[in-house]
Structure 1
Amino acid sequence: MSSAPPRTLADLRRVAEEFWPASTAEGWDRVGLVSGAGDAPLRRVLLAVDAVAATVDEALELGADALLTHHPLLLRGIHTIAEDTSKGALLARLIRGGCALLAAHTNADQPEGGVSAVVAERLGLVSAEAIVPAEGPRPGEVFGIGRVGDLSEATSLREFAERVAAILPETVSGVRVAGDPDRPVRRIALLGGAGDSLLDHPAVRAADVYLTSDLRHHPAQESIEQSLAAGGPALVDVAHWASESLWLEGAAERLSARLPGVEFAVSGLRTDPWSFAVGASRL
């Protein structure tokens, strides 16, 4: 029986590009290889939402040859990677530890099996489509920003929020809801990660619920007031990290199937930035 050929970082880049083409990322995004050499051996890869000190520690302790994250470490312009800066220190540790760094961000948000698609699948949405459709790299693929679809049967807003909480890892902020808890809901719009930019989108306004993260006070308040006056969605706000963490397991499985002989692990660390809350109440 023949064994799998030795793998290199170039193999991981190639397969990641097939799954999540860099050309489909938003223009402001920074995806792909951050550090590492293409001919470096690839035996073990860790997947995580964020490249932070804890996940870098985890990757190095695991002996990973690459850390694949959803959020880019170098998204915004920097002018130094000196080791007395947080990002410089992380990159230096990864390089010294022989661990490459790659990111798949908005290019992993939009396709089938992407961030929003996984949330829609876990919630059981039927015939989910993109809120903002785009032309995908594969013919016939549901592709684009967010997802909108129907539950198999209507439920109350409170029961839907409890369903959301059940599929997500626990966080300090939990699941926050704006709307009548007894309101029947069936049509669900969602966007993994920050989503208040779509609050006024017609597909969102036509839904019973909009599920996303990082909703700011004024946009959320204005959306609810508009819903009271003219109809529109209840709002469900979840932790940014939690909504995107669901993507990791499926991504690891797909990569493992294409790159036999390489071990793919998913970080078990919570990188949501909030550590505790006080004074919260259930109204």
Structure 2
Amino acid sequence: MGGDRLENKTSVSVASWSSLNARMDNRFATAFVIACVLSLISTIYMAASIGTDFWYEYRSPVQENSSDLNKSVWDEFASDEADEKTYNDALFRYNGTVGLWRRCITIPQNIYWNSQLEKTESFDVVTRCMGFTLNEQFMEKFVDPGNHNSGIDLLRTYLWRCQFLLPFVSLGLMCFGALIGLCACICRSLYPTIATGILHLLAGLCTLGSVSCYVAGIELLHQKLELPENVYGEFGWSFCLACVSAPLQFMASALFIWAAHTNRKEYTLMKAYRVA
């Protein structure tokens, strides 16, 4: 009689632990899914931020429609020998936008001749962009922009290089973390996602570092090259995407690590109970 009661209690305990384990698994699976969604959104935001040209935007008065002046500005802006001061002067004057890979200006279309050979002017504008080469990305910045004899400004040089490299490191870490998460799903175990969480944490730090370097670099540049009168600048939506991506990466990291660590802990306790 006593043995039957003991067996019944054991059966009830095992059943209750199984029910509790099922609830825990559902909770951890939900956290895992939410973390994956956050990771996907942050990856899309980061990729869009890297590939677009609106990290910083300048607003300037409309310039006169002179074909000779516009051609001269564009030739200097697009020249392989254009230094930092040359292309920044054009950005200031012609509503420029700057990304990690390209710089763009918006200039009026050239004066043209119509079919009646009457000289007319078009006040439409066209956006023209010029990419930064790898050589330009790693080129030294000078204390006095445009003056190669003023000495190398190491702080601005390394800030520029970091703002270019860190977003790619962040994107690579998230992609590598996604592969580990996929392996965790195949193995039906949450424990490997601790590595995914750590990689997302490092990715978030890289993104935050890139944003910080960009802000510091812009502020230092404007101290060297003051904006002309009636010209002002502001951070664009590409920069905002990077700013939003960082907290999403941190939240995904926290969920991945919490789900993996807590699930492992509960599994260890349940295993110890069954052995006892």
TM-score by length of 2: 0.29
Whose helix fraction is larger, Structure 1's or Structure 2's? 2
TM-score by length of 1: 0.28
Give the greater-gyration-radius structure (CA). Answer: 2
